Amino acid sequence: MAFDALADDLGVFLGDFNVSATSGATTANVILDQPSQVLAGDMVLSTDYQITAKASDFGTLTAGTSITVDSVAYNVRETRLIDDGLLCEISLQKV
């Protein structure tokens, strides 16, 4: 596959581990990460929610925007473009 063709079809990156996400009128597939962190000297366990998505789908979301991922409601904390700007990582807060 040529590099230009890969840039046109980012769905390849989201194909195997995707879940559906909806914000406003946009629905698209994303990768949901839910890593746990141990905080406060092993006393607190915290989950930090994040999705990876095509920037063309969700790259313009701003803090406080509502998004539903895999049927769970979240608010956007921060949106960051990654690598060449075709994909983005969005930090989420569960509501």
- pTM comes to 0.80
Give the tens place of pLDDT for each residue, 19-70: 999 999 999 999 999 877 676 676 666 778 999 999 999 999 999 999 999 9
d(CA 23, CA 34): 19
End-to-end CA, the chain:
41
Domains parsed from the chain with CATH numbers: 3-94 (2.40.10)
Q: Which two tokens stand for residue 40?
A: 């406060």
- What pLDDT score does 10 carry? 66
Distance from C-alpha of 38 to C-alpha of 7, rounded to nearest angstrom: 37
pLDDT at 13 over 90: no
Q: Is 65 helix (H, G, I), strand (E, B) or coil?
A: coil
Binned at pLDDT 50, 70 and 90, residue 3 comes out as very low
Could you give the CA distance from residue 47 to residue 57 in angstroms, rounded to a whole number?
A: 25
With the C-alpha atoms ordered 26, 56, 93, 14, is the resulting torsion angle positive or negative? Answer: positive
Q: Kindly calculate the radius of gyration of the chain based on its CA atoms and give it in whole angstroms.
A: 14
- Please give the structure tokens belonging to residue 10: 């980012």
